[in-house]
Structure 1
């Protein structure tokens, strides 16, 4: 009897489920039929993704500075000796990212929020929002909408990461954990409108208009121009020619513009995947500033009435020994002897630096964990770093490890 009742229950349940499935399918077909313009068309569906990462690190400094800092003397204003890994001899948190993105045939939208010490450093121009210091604007790393006008032409509006340079803020994307001086002294983000046209899968052009350099609000009524030409001469070789030109003059409280403050930066970034395991990269940039830049975050030194230049070259190489371990080297030369950017010596005067960085990449936990042991040597043109006894030296060496979790 029990078996008979159980069998009848299964039959009724199966019939109910089948009826529900049939109803659901019928409703879906009815909805699609009502929305379709022809019997063969269907409604395009978008895709929502949520991703992010967090990183933590420990770096020992062989100079054993009393300040427990990798920035060097006179480095606290913008962190000119290191971009993000600024603490020495202590465990530190880097950045926590929460990134939501929606993509469809016609539109993409990105809402990229970051928190932590490196988020503050990477978004320093947003630290004063409409409600004053500490506003929620500081958490916005990127927030933009991309309209796809056609398969070749798209328009992007909002706040987006800079197209300038080889490296990015996101620690999982870079091979090295510590960031280059070229990255540290170039723009981090822009707010504005840009258009991109793909002539083919190997050639594209981007042009845009932005408020200014690394700032939430425009500091004058003049806009900056940005551009990027991409081309791929052969498979595996990518070339990016980047530029930005902007008038960064400040305004007084009455809105009267100050003298022109012209800023320009031109950048070459190229990568070549020589073999599936061996990779080469190059970043070269030259920039110029003239005028009053007190609202840009980089005060600089020297005569503001004269055009002051800076620039550098970085070479990247890495080799994947296995799918879980790779080793890379970055060598960089950066010249700021004009004093126009934040990289200075211990006296605050402009300086130049040679840096070499050795980094390992270890992948674990099915790709969710990245471990990056790293040795870096920086050698300045003049005294820059403090020792434990209070004396100064031109160089510093750091050794440590970064751990990154991504999802």
Structure 2
């Protein structure tokens, strides 16, 4: 990856940060509203699962290259603890994550368990400023299993950003249109110094219209590079929903592009069945597919069928996943430990939200 000098870039971003802050403050309107009592809330989730490979032994190496749910046998997900305080115009959120999924989500640092930690100011009814660490605005899926339909995650999610540290401004332009602008550290970094380079920053933006979002990220090829992402979905009927995600990421010729569809059918109030069909194409030797991906420009078609049965706050998710790569040199393993271009697996996850 190319490294660049950030002094001028950092100064420009700081100037942009100041411009965002001052302009939103000037636009703030002190409107008369009913006084609201500050509210404290506490919640979170826990999850665990059992997984076995159908076309391979349960060796750790025989697993899709996407994040989370990669262990076989009985395994832990994460314990997520979220505390929030909401006042009339300001508030704060502390979101802590523990366990294997949590550590992966916060960058694998065993000493940092902060998933999200931010304070916000509702400058006006149409403008909110947020400062701290917040989960990414890119992509269809998120870190918490309570907010995803499928338990395992997509390649598009796994190789995009997880979280950001910085300042963002959200604007409600109308009933349908929204805009977000952000100045941040490079993705998934708590500090601006990255790989010994001080002042490594990124910029982000999101344009939303009626539940459809076009997202942008750029860090000057410091870490992720550039990503453009579309995330949305449509209620095709009262019981049928279609989610859509497409993304393109490039860091000086190294990256990926792809798309995923998420059809989901609600058979009853307690049971829903859904499919994730994803095509993921690497650019260059991105090495994202399987345990031994050394092939340039490899692609994978991954199909995941998930059922979701809920009892009060408890959800059971059985799931079958099939990953089929374009090359077997090697991507996965078969039952004899021989390189294979495909892998099928089954898991059942238990998730409790409180």
TM-score using structure 1 length: 0.74
1:64-93 per-residue CA deviation (whole Å, 9 max, x = no partner) reads 325245436xxxxxxxx13101112x1001
For 1:86, the equivalent position in structure 2 comes to 70
Are the counterparts in 2 of residues 241 and 269 from structure 1 also a CA contact under 8 Å? Answer: yes
Are the counterparts in 1 of residues 136 and 161 from structure 2 also a CA contact under 8 Å? Answer: yes
Are the counterparts in 1 of residues 332 and 342 from structure 2 also a CA contact under 8 Å? Answer: yes
1:342-361 per-residue CA deviation (whole Å, 9 max, x = no partner) reads 33672523421001111001
Do structure 1's residue 106 and structure 2's residue 89 form an aligned pair?
A: yes
Please state which structure has a larger fraction of its residues in helix. Answer: 1
Do structure 1's residue 189 and structure 2's residue 199 form an aligned pair?
A: no
What SS does the corresponding residue of 1:200 show, helix, strand or coil?
coil
1:376 to 313, 318, 321: 321
Q: Distance in 2 between matches of 1:336 and 1:363?
A: 36
Q: Distance in 2 between matches of 1:174 and 1:44?
A: 32
What SS does the corresponding residue of 1:247 show, helix, strand or coil?
coil
Are the counterparts in 2 of residues 94 and 118 from structure 1 also a CA contact under 8 Å? Answer: yes
For 2:228, the equivalent position in structure 1 comes to 266
For 1:225, the equivalent position in structure 2 comes to 203
Q: Distance in 2 between matches of 1:341 and 1:156?
A: 35
Cα RMSD for the two superposed structures: 1.9
Q: Distance in 1 between matches of 2:224 and 2:60?
A: 37
For 1:340, the equivalent position in structure 2 comes to 286
1:74-127 per-residue CA deviation (whole Å, 9 max, x = no partner) reads xxxxxxx13101112x100101100001112201211000100001111116x1
Do structure 1's residue 322 and structure 2's residue 268 form an aligned pair?
A: yes
Q: 1:91 to 1:239 in 2, by over 3 A?
A: same
Do structure 1's residue 361 and structure 2's residue 308 form an aligned pair?
A: yes
Are the counterparts in 2 of residues 345 and 382 from structure 1 also a CA contact under 8 Å? Answer: no
Q: Distance in 2 between matches of 1:341 and 1:106?
A: 46
1:38-82 per-residue CA deviation (whole Å, 9 max, x = no partner) reads xx997431111111001111111013325245436xxxxxxxx13
TM-score using structure 2 length: 0.85
Aligned length: 316
For 1:239, the equivalent position in structure 2 comes to 212
Are the counterparts in 2 of residues 70 and 82 from structure 1 also a CA contact under 8 Å? Answer: no
Q: Distance in 2 between matches of 1:341 and 1:111?
A: 34
Q: 1:340 to 1:396 in 2, by over 3 A?
A: closer
**Structure 1, unpaired ranges of 5+:** 1-39, 73-80, 128-133, 233-237, 250-260, 291-306
TM alignment of 1:2-401, pairs within 5 A: 43-65=35-57, 67-71=59-63, 81-88=65-72, 90-124=73-107, 127=109, 134-135=110-111, 138-218=112-192, 219=194, 220-232=198-210, 238-249=211-222, 263-290=225-252, 307-340=253-286, 342-343=288-289, 346-350=292-296, 351-364=298-311, 366=312, 368-383=313-328, 384-401=331-348
**Structure 2, unpaired ranges of 5+:** 1-31
What SS does the corresponding residue of 1:168 show, helix, strand or coil?
coil
Higher RCO structure (Cα 8 Å, ≥6 apart): 2
